[in-house]
Amino acid sequence: MIGLFQGMFEDNILTFNPGWDQSAQNTDSFTDVRDVQKQLKAHGLELMSEADEASDGPASLMLQDPDGNTILIDQHR
């Protein structure tokens, strides 16, 4: 499934939503965005924005791929 958002973001963006399936329905299990963030940072990746690791529930982080495209990991639950 591809979502098209004209005018919402300035450049290209790739979005992942932990906890949701392709129809935005909750999945039984998923890796929390804060755990993903810890793994990315442990591998030395620089983040553009970070989730508060002391929180739980909805949160997001952003980084760029080697081509300069933004990647958004956006957890809604």
With a CB cutoff of 8 Å and minimum separation 6, the contacts of 47 are 37, 40, 41, 61, 62, 63
Domain of 23, CATH number, reads 3.10.180.10
| pTM for this predicted structure | 0.87
pLDDT at 3 over 80: no
Residue 61 is part of which domain span? 13-75
Q: Quick one: pLDDT at residue 38?
A: 98
Residues of the chain with pLDDT > 90: what percent? 74
State pLDDT tens for residues 24-47. Answer: 999 999 999 999 999 999 999 999
Residue 5 inside a domain? The answer is no
CB contact at 8 A, 56 and 42 = no
